[in-house]
């Protein structure tokens, strides 16, 4: 148990940053690995930081047993200040000195999965953000960069593979059937990038030669039975190496690059130098066990961690307030990587739409709720709570806007200058923005840099109000753009942001008009204007007839766009916009408008909220000869319940759910013939390959099958349920099999239970597949309150294990965070369940508990009786005396006004 909870919660403030009083130049670590009691000998060479006034050395530690401290080989005086080890009488002057610390820890008792822990008999570490202090006493902060030598000693039979960062320089046998391995990392690093792995593992290996002619060994380590699920991760890794060299000129700087998979992991993956540690979910895949989504996620997470090698590891963060320096930039890079792997523009657009959907359904609510914080926060209690969609996804949008403002080549120049200036350093978000601006003198970014950086300092999602005016006589079209941003906790007044707005104007035939901004030179297609004041007008000249505006193309800025387009205009954009993002967006706006109308209407929910024009437009997209299946699937997917909720001031989750279900059901019936057509046209895809084209076809097939099963549920016709069950049984890959199973479950058909039982039987040995099985049931549409009892039963299932984060997420998060229609119950039972689980999980894994705690972030928007019941549930959690700082920070902020 973290003893953090013994002390009062301390607020860490960005403005209090001070450089370290000591530097640690080298670290020599020796581990005697034993699950019950691991011995750690830490020999460091330190020196005083000449720029800081002489003071005591204060080393961070957590849950360690201290056995010995030696300075320059001799005894010394030290004291404990809480968990901090304080050394006051260290040698004076600038000379380096040796500090040796001997501690022990208990990896098998480490349930938090931070520091050194055991997962299925194998040792793993997780040190970001502040886990290294759970391994040894250290200056556990990212601006202290040291050279590491690591010796691992362990039983030869139980731990045949011994890995750490860098290069293996020595290995051999020891007495008592033990052996050792010695690793030297050639690169200096902050301690959060330290890693070790020891256990029974096997590796897929690949030798590659980089552009410069250097040889590298790539390895993917997994448990012995999982070798047949490593090919895709290895392919993704090779593609990542090639891409970073080609797009940014950044080569692999290591002889050996390893990925290791573990089933017990709090997050997705970790970029430890040369030894990435991954959640199995983002490594293991073959066509029989993983879906297209899994394949795509693996590609982007493998890319993400690999790209950190430069953006995060070679240049790291000065302090944790700068987290987005590495995370926002690296998410941007992994998004670009996935897009660049798409051969055609339509597939790129699909990726962009998916990324924006995540931003709008997860980050916008965060930005409007009690945990809202700037991309570079000003304070925190627990840094683990700030690994958020704001730091990651909004941070990536901020980097993307920089690229938009300086152009793709300009951005590459910016990256080059960033590495020229800061390679090997621990720096700030300011340093990055400055480098991109300085590499592009004369650009809008360089002109507006101080103002642009408000994206880092101000929280909240800006709203842009757009109004168009056509003047037939002057032959002009004037677009007036105005921006506002609501207050967020601790920030009441917001100054204007720098907002790049990409604009197109469509003529009556749906073609892009050439654009002359203020009579300037013609731009074909899209013109990006920069809104930097509260209100600005942009005049396009030479316009002969009233155009239809396409504003914020490609989602050129992370803002809410308010523009009152008529249905006719939106239908025009949906039919013709050359910008696929806005084409999709037009469909979403049309659907949203209808959803909001039905939600706001008096009386019982209208069972047919859609009009003929909307249905016809959806049919036209579905049947369109030139559009991709993947794009069609996105257009025909209705806005998520959480996204609809964000558009309302008062949220009745049950009504939102009922309206969205009615809309979906209406589409199922009204397009019945079209769904049959879509199913038949796209169902056969040959041998499985996770490429964008066949992925899109499978997605559309799955959607069609769900729609056909939904219609069958209402009309009692057994044909399509039978076909779905048959496809479920005969499917040649997990995507098709799982989509067929989902169709039966979502439609609530009697065959669903048979299929679920069969699926469980087929995959009882496959943990990641069982996670899907659990998640599908916990996330299924609620019918008369049936999901919560089902969830409680799932928790009692022999395959359920609360300690495994993936399994806990598959049931509890799928219910509390991803199934609003089932979670928000008028009897408050969903909230009671939530509070029980937050408290139960917090007792052994605060990081996971704190994420669950955020499921009720938006409680203040809820209608009664939900609002009062939610507040009560949060208060019940907050009243617990021995909460972790993680959960305490979340519930305290949630209850604050
Ligand atoms: N840096 C990791 C990333 O790539 C995030 C991460 C992995 C993490 N494990 C963690 C953060 C544990 C905090 C705690 O995004
Ligand atoms: Zn990352």
**What's the pLDDT tens digit per position in 170-204?**
999 999 999 999 999 999 999 999 999 999 999 99
What average pLDDT does the segment 608-628 reach?
A: 98
Ligand 2 midpoint to CA 300 (Å): 11
The atom number, within ligand 1, closest to the CA of 269 reads 7
Ligand 2 midpoint to CA 590 (Å): 35
DSSP-assigned letters across all residues of 325-348: HHHHHHHHHHHHHHHHT-SSHHHH
| pLDDT at position 111 | 98
In a domain, 29, yes or no: yes
In a domain, 349, yes or no: no
- The ligand whose atoms approach the alpha carbon of 278 most closely is 1
User: What is the arrangement of strands in the sheet containing 79-81, beginning at the earlier edge strand?
Assistant: 57-59, 84-87, 79-81
| pLDDT at position 488 | 98
Q: Which of 530, 550, 566 is the last residue of a domain?
A: 566
* CA torsion angle 145 375 309 181 (round to 10): 50
In a domain, 730, yes or no: no
Closest C-alpha to ligand 1, atom 6: 270
Q: Three-class SS of residue 394?
A: helix
Per the structure block, which two tokens stand in for 273?
A: 């130098």
- The ligand whose atoms approach the alpha carbon of 846 most closely is 1
Say how far residue 792 (Cα) sits from the centre of its chain: 28
Q: Of 320, 336, 271, which Cα lies nearest the Cα of 125?
A: 271
In a domain, 646, yes or no: no
For ligand 1, mutation pick of 113, 269, 270, 848 (most atoms within 8 Å of CB): 270
- Whether pTM exceeds 0.95: yes
What is the 3-class SS of 507-531, one letter each residue?
CCCCCECCEEECCCCEECCCEEEEE
Q: What pLDDT, in 10s, does the model give residues 453-476?
A: 999 999 999 999 999 999 999 999
Dist CA 452 CA 375 (whole Å) = 13
For ligand 1, mutation pick of 117, 124, 126 (most atoms within 8 Å of CB): 126
pLDDT value at 398 more than 80: yes
Dist CA 84 CA 628 (whole Å) = 59
Say how far residue 200 (Cα) sits from the centre of its chain: 30
Dist CA 456 CA 542 (whole Å) = 38
The answer to whether the peptide bond before residue 129 is cis (omega within 30 degrees of 0) is yes
Closest C-alpha to ligand 1, atom 2: 270
Cα–Cα–Cα angle for 131, 137, 143, nearest 5°?
A: 65
Say how far residue 491 (Cα) sits from the centre of its chain: 25
Ligand 2 midpoint to CA 232 (Å): 20
Contact 874, 887 (CB under 8 A): no
Q: Rounded to the nearest 10 degrees, what angle do helices 866-878 and 885-895 cross at?
A: 140
The atom number, within ligand 1, closest to the CA of 383 reads 13
| pLDDT at position 299 | 98
CATH code where residue 29 lies: 2.60.40.1730
Active-site residues: which are they?
Answer: 305
Beta bridge partners of 73: none
For ligand 1, mutation pick of 140, 260, 261, 269 (most atoms within 8 Å of CB): 269
pLDDT value at 798 more than 60: yes
In a domain, 380, yes or no: no
Q: Of 262, 286, 287, 281, which Cα lies nearest the Cα of 272?
A: 262
Residues 6+ apart with CB under 8 A from 829: 788
| pLDDT at position 520 | 87
Closest C-alpha to ligand 1, atom 5: 270
| pLDDT at position 897 | 81
* CA torsion angle 806 808 809 815 (round to 10): 150
What average pLDDT does the segment 148-161 reach?
A: 99
Q: In total, how many domains does the chain have?
A: 2
What average pLDDT does the segment 291-299 reach?
A: 98
Q: Which of 199, 233, 255 is the last residue of a domain?
A: 199
Dist CA 805 CA 857 (whole Å) = 21
Ligand 1 midpoint to CA 268 (Å): 7
- The ligand whose atoms approach the alpha carbon of 324 most closely is 2
10 Å Cβ neighbour count for 532?
17
pLDDT, averaged across the chain:
97
Strand residues in 244-353 grouped as ranges (E):
256-262, 269-270, 275-279, 316-317
pLDDT value at 3 more than 50: no
Per the structure block, which two tokens stand in for 186?
A: 């050639």
Q: What pLDDT, in 10s, does the model give residues 372-393?
A: 999 999 999 999 999 999 999 9
The atom number, within ligand 1, closest to the CA of 301 reads 4
| pLDDT at position 9 | 83
Ligand 1 midpoint to CA 806 (Å): 15
Q: What share of the chain is helix, strand, coil (3-state, %, to 5)?
A: 45, 20, 35
**The pairing of beta strand 79-81 with beta strand 515-516:** unpaired
Q: Three-class SS of residue 265?
A: coil
Residues 6+ apart with CB under 8 A from 445: 402, 405, 406, 436, 437, 452
Contact 306, 320 (CB under 8 A): no
Q: Provide the residue range defining the domain that includes 195.
A: 1-199
Closest C-alpha to ligand 1, atom 3: 270
CATH code where residue 467 lies: 2.60.40.1840
| pLDDT at position 5 | 58
pLDDT value at 678 more than 70: yes
Between the alpha carbon of residue 738 and those of residues 634, 672, 693, 702, 710, the distances in Å are: 19, 22, 19, 9, 16
DSSP 392: I
Ligand 2 midpoint to CA 336 (Å): 15
In a domain, 478, yes or no: yes
Binning pLDDT at 50, 70 and 90, where does residue 8 land?
Answer: confident
Contact 273, 187 (CB under 8 A): yes
The atom number, within ligand 1, closest to the CA of 384 reads 13
What average pLDDT does the segment 82-98 reach?
A: 96
What average pLDDT does the segment 397-413 reach?
A: 98
In a domain, 356, yes or no: no
Say how far residue 510 (Cα) sits from the centre of its chain: 36
Beta bridge partners of 747: none
> Tokens 């617990």 sit at which residue?
880
Q: Three-class SS of residue 738?
A: helix
Contact 561, 500 (CB under 8 A): no
Dist CA 576 CA 506 (whole Å) = 8
The answer to whether the peptide bond before residue 30 is cis (omega within 30 degrees of 0) is no
Q: Rounded to the nearest 10 degrees, what angle do helices 767-778 and 787-795 cross at?
A: 150
- The ligand whose atoms approach the alpha carbon of 130 most closely is 1
Q: Which residues lie with the beta carbon below 6 Å from any ligand 1 atom?
A: 126, 128-129, 266-267, 269-271, 304-305, 327, 384, 387
Ligand 2 midpoint to CA 322 (Å): 13
10 Å Cβ neighbour count for 597?
13
Contact 671, 707 (CB under 8 A): yes
DSSP 748: T
Dist CA 889 CA 382 (whole Å) = 7
Per the structure block, which two tokens stand in for 214?
A: 């250097």
Q: Of 634, 469, 619, 450, which Cα lies nearest the Cα of 539?
A: 469
pLDDT value at 615 more than 50: yes
The atom number, within ligand 1, closest to the CA of 312 reads 1
Q: What pLDDT, in 10s, does the model give residues 538-593?
A: 999 999 999 999 999 999 999 999 999 999 999 999 999 999 999 999 999 999 99
Q: Which of 566, 595, 615 is the last residue of a domain?
A: 566
Binning pLDDT at 50, 70 and 90, where does residue 7 land?
Answer: low
Residues 6+ apart with CB under 8 A from 19: 49, 51, 52, 143
| pLDDT at position 343 | 87
| pLDDT at position 1 | 39
In a domain, 54, yes or no: yes
Contact 375, 395 (CB under 8 A): yes
| pLDDT at position 2 | 45
Per the structure block, which two tokens stand in for 615?
A: 């249905």
pLDDT value at 4 more than 80: no
State whether the Cα torsion 434-436-439-442 is positive or negative: negative
């Amino acid at each position: 148990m973290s003893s953090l909870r013994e002390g009062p919660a301390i607020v860490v403030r960005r403005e209090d940053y001070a450089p370290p009083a000591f530097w640690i130049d080298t670290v020599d670590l020796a581990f005697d690995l034993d699950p019950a009691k691991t011995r750690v000998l830490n020999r460091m060479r330190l020196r005083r930081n000449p720029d800081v006034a002489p003071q005591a050395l204060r080393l961070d530690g957590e849950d360690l047993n201290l056995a010995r401290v030696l300075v320059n080989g001799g005894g010394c005086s030290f004291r404990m200040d809480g968990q901090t080890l304080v050394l006051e009488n260290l040698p004076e002057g600038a000379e380096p000195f040796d500090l040796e610390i001997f501690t022990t820890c208990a990896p098998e008792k480490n349930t938090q999965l931070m520091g050194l822990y055991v997962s299925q008999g194998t040792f793993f570490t997780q040190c970001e953000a502040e886990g290294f202090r759970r391994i040894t006493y250290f200056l556990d902060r990212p601006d202290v960069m040291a050279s590491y030598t690591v010796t691992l000693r362990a039983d030869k039979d139980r731990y045949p593979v011994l890995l750490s960062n860098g290069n293996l320089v020595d290995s051999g046998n020891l007495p008592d059937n033990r052996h050792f391995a010695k690793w030297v990392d050639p690169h200096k690093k902050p301690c959060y990038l330290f890693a070790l792995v020891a256990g029974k593992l096997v590796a897929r290996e690949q030798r590659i030669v980089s552009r410069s002619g250097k040889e590298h060994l790539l390895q993917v380590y997994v448990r012995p039975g999982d070798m047949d699920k490593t090919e895709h991760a290895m392919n993704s890794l090779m593609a990542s190496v090639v891409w970073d060299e080609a797009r940014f000129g950044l080569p692999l700087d290591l002889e050996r690059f390893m990925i290791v998979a573990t089933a017990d992991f709090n997050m997705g993956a970790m970029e430890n130098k040369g030894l990435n540690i991954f959640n199995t979910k983002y490594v293991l895949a073959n066509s029989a066990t993983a879906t297209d989504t899994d394949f795509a996620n693996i590609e982007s997470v493998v890319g993400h961690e690999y790209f950190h090698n430069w953006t995060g590891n070679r240049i790291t963060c000065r302090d944790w307030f700068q987290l987005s320096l590495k995370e926002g930039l690296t998410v941007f890079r992994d998004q670009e990587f996935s897009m660049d792997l798409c051969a055609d523009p339509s597939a790129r657009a699909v990726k962009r739409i998916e990324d924006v959907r995540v931003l709008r359904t997860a980050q916008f609510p965060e930005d409007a709720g009690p945990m809202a914080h700037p991309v570079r926060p000003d304070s925190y209690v627990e840094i683990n709570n700030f690994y958020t969609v704001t730091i990651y996804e909004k941070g990536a949008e901020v980097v993307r806007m920089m690229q938009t403002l300086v152009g793709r080549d300009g951005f590459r120049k910016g990256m080059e200058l960033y590495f020229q200036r800061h390679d090997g350093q621990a720096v700030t978000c300011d340093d990055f923005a400055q480098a991109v601006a300085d590499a592009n003198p004369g650009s809008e970014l360089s002109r507006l840099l101080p103002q642009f950086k408000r994206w880092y300092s101000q929280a909240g999602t800006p709203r842009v109000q757009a109004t168009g005016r056509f003047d037939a006589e002057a032959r002009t079209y004037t677009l007036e753009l105005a921006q506002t941003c609501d207050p967020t906790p601790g920030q009441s007044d917001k100054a204007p942001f720098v907002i790049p707005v990409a604009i197109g104007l469509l003529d009556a035939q749906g073609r892009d008009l050439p654009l002359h901004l203020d009579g300037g030179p013609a731009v074909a297609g899209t013109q990006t204007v920069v809104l930097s004041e509260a209100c600005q007008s942009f005049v396009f000249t030479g316009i002969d007839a009233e155009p239809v505006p396409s504003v914020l193309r490609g989602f050129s800025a992370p803002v809410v766009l308010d523009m009152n387009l008529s249905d006719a205009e939106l239908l025009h954009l949906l039919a013709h916009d050359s910008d696929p993002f806005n084409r999709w967006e037009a469909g979403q706006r049309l659907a949203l408008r209808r959803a909001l109308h039905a939600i706001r209407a008096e009386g019982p929910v209208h069972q047919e909220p859609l009009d003929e024009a909307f249905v016809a437009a959806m049919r036209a997209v579905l049947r369109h000869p030139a559009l991709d299946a993947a794009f069609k699937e996105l257009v025909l997917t209705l806005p998520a319940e959480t996204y609809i909720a964000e558009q309302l001031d008062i949220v009745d989750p049950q009504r939102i759910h009922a309206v969205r279900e009615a809309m979906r059901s209406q589409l199922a019936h009204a397009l019945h013939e079209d769904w049959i057509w879509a199913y038949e046209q796209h169902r056969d895809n040959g041998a499985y390959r996770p490429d964008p084209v066949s992925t899109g076809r499978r997605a559309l097939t799955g959607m069609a099958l769900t729609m056909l099963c939904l219609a069958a549920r209402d009309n009692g016709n057994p044909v399509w349920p039978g076909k779905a069950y048959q496809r479920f049984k005969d499917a040649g890959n997990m995507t098709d099999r799982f989509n067929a199973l989902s169709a039966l479950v979502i439609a609530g058909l009697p065959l669903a239970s048979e299929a679920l039982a069969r699926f469980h039987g087929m995959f009882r040995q496959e943990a990641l597949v069982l996670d899907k099985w659990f998640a599908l049931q916990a996330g299924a549409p609620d019918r008369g309150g049936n999901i919560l009892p089902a969830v409680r039963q799932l928790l009692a299932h022999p395959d359920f294990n609360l300690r495994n984060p993936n399994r806990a997420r598959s049931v509890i998060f799928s219910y509390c965070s991803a199934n609003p229609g089932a979670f928000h119950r008028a009897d408050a039972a969903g909230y009671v369940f939530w509070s029980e689980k937050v408290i139960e999980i917090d007792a052994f894994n605060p990081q996971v508990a704190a994420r669950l705690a955020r499921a009720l972030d938006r409680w203040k928007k809820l209608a009664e009786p939900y609002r009062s019941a939610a507040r009560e549930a949060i208060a019940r959690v907050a009243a617990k005396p021995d909460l972790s700082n993680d959960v305490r920070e979340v519930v305290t902020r949630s209850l604050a006004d």
